[in-house]
Structure 1
């Protein structure tokens, strides 16, 4: 008997919901605005180049003025989406639909450090056992909290550059000679870091691995198969299906 039919016989569902529809909508808004910001932002950065790819690319977006409008609208939308996400988390905690559990929390824990060490020991052939993860691995936690850091740096600097007259009221007068140039550098350099991070870290880990290629459907359906959950997140699996854990021990 196959493992799938065995779990079905035990009353274990084939899939479980990992992210509800609100989280999925927030993710769609986030990556849509991120792509718009990436495409228009780098076109704007080199919009004054007399010729070449940059000049052609900015014309695709209707010129620097139109691209600037799209960039600002996408940036404000992303900030609002981020604020909506934080408020929604507080709502889930307030209604007790979400609680802090060491086996399911997205909060970094000392265990994550030991998981990194354990995984590297496994990768180098010094251990036969991989790290066992709860709901989120250390890589997924790093992926998630990187957004908060990026939103703080890119969000604040971008807001300041988009609305300089408004922000100038809170900027100390002794910084006026260099603060705007600093904010511009912060914004573009952190944006480059975010683009590289998303392409080489997030896309690979969530979509381009052989087991997920060409794409994980989790961001659309919000569901993960219990077989994949058992393989990648065994601690969460045992938390959700404690009877099977007991039967294996027996």
Structure 2
């Protein structure tokens, strides 16, 4: 029987690599993109100077945009293949009515109107919001970024107003993404309700049974049930 402090696998190596690529590419896109939006600010000039100037910063920005898009396409292919080939289908990240109930219950718990916080499975409602918001953001940024990168081709098929519109949307979506990362993601990923400590599972691939029991009790119970069944089966064979 596993002990509470024993490590258990939560993320596969491929998922950890995806997260690293996502983290690095988004960080570099913010680092090279936001100074262009606030180009009149002193700090923006300093940051652009690190890259050797505006043109070099744009080149770096475009490179990591390609990295992000490639990672997103890879993820989409993996998800489609898993939905087709894996049984039972991996639907843990799909939102449902339960997530709405969990969200309301979480608010009630934080306001002191409920004694116990909701019990989550492998992913809670906050993680699902982040995941689907990320997909939306990548789609929006990819479309508007491509229009700005290739304005001649874009205006051959679309009205000219699409250029300033894309610039506005791209700019504000970038600010929204940055704020979401530094406020929402850092807190929910590493300092969520229950255990105020850095969660390194996305980097190491492993978490502890204690943490899983606290933050993902339904997944913990499923894992313990499978472990008990396996041990019982082994005892029967012996």
1:41-120 to 2 correspondences below 5 Å? 41-47=33-39, 49=40, 52-96=42-86, 99-100=89-90, 105-120=92-107
Number of the residue aligned with 2:26? 34
Number of the residue aligned with 1:142? 129
1:125 and 2:115 matched: no
Q: In the TM superposition, what whole-angstrom CA distance separates every residue of 1:113-170 from its partner, at most 9, and x where no partner exists?
A: 1111212222222221210101111111111111111011111101111122333333
- Inter-partner Cα distance in structure 1 for 2:12 and 2:152: 40
- Inter-partner Cα distance in structure 1 for 2:196 and 2:105: 23
- Inter-partner Cα distance in structure 1 for 2:226 and 2:162: 60
TM score, norm. by length of structure 1? 0.83
Number of the residue aligned with 2:199? 216
Moved more, 233-242 or 29-38: 233-242
Secondary structure at 1:16 match in 2: strand
TM score, norm. by length of structure 2? 0.87
- Inter-partner Cα distance in structure 2 for 1:124 and 1:56: 43
Aligned equivalent of 2:187, options 190, 199, 204: 204
Q: May I ask how many residue pairs the two structures share in their alignment?
A: 228
Distance 1:119 1:46, change over 3 A: closer
- Inter-partner Cα distance in structure 1 for 2:62 and 2:178: 18
User: By how many angstroms is 1:54 displaced?
Assistant: 2.1
CA contact (8 A) 1:43 1:58 kept: yes
Aligned equivalent of 1:25, options 14, 17, 20: 17
CA contact (8 A) 1:238 1:245 kept: no
Q: In the TM superposition, what whole-angstrom CA distance separates every residue of 1:58-110 from its partner, at most 9, and x where no partner exists?
A: 11111011001000011111011101011111222333166245xxx111110
Higher relative contact order (CA 8 A, sep 6+): 2
Any unmatched runs of 5+ in structure 1?
Answer: 1-5
CA contact (8 A) 1:238 1:244 kept: no
Distance 1:165 1:89, change over 3 A: same
- Inter-partner Cα distance in structure 2 for 1:29 and 1:244: 33
Tell me the C-alpha RMSD between the 2 structures. 2.3
Q: Give the 4+ runs in structure 1 shifted more than 3 A.
A: 208-213, 243-246
Moved more, 113-122 or 181-190: 113-122
Q: In the TM superposition, what whole-angstrom CA distance separates every residue of 1:193-237 from its partner, at most 9, and x where no partner exists?
A: 000000000011112459454x32112111111111111111111
Distance 1:27 1:142, change over 3 A: same
